[in-house]
Structure 1
């Protein structure tokens, strides 16, 4: 039987939503082995004047539970 665990993370970027997702996955992979999927659950942006100055994503990261 295969099990997966899901953790929620928040990632930001000054470039784009896509960059925020990629940075989040890359940073999560530093401490989580076997990431198998990502589900973005929220997209927000900070605006100053008439421009977006930062992008933020909240996402669920799924990874396999290792058995002994």
Structure 2
């Protein structure tokens, strides 16, 4: 049986919430191997003068825990 570790990452984007989530995964994949899934926990944004200026996605990223000896 494989154990899975979950970390929480905040991604940002000037374009969209979807892109913010994708950025979170892309950045995490620079240091985390074998990402197996994500769950978007929260969507937020910065607003200036009635316009969204920065989208944020809080993402939980799942990946397998390495077994000892690997």
TM-score, shorter chain, exceeding 0.5 = yes
TM-score for both structures, normalised by structure 1: 0.94
In structure 2, the residue matched to 1:59 is 59
1:59 deviates by 1.1
Q: How does 1:1-68 map to 2 (within 5 A)?
A: 1-67=1-67, 68=69
Higher strand residue share? 1
Aligned residues: 68
Provide structure 2 residue ranges, at least 5 long, that are not aligned to the other structure.
Answer: none
Provide structure 1 residue ranges, at least 5 long, that are not aligned to the other structure.
Answer: none
TM-score for both structures, normalised by structure 2: 0.91
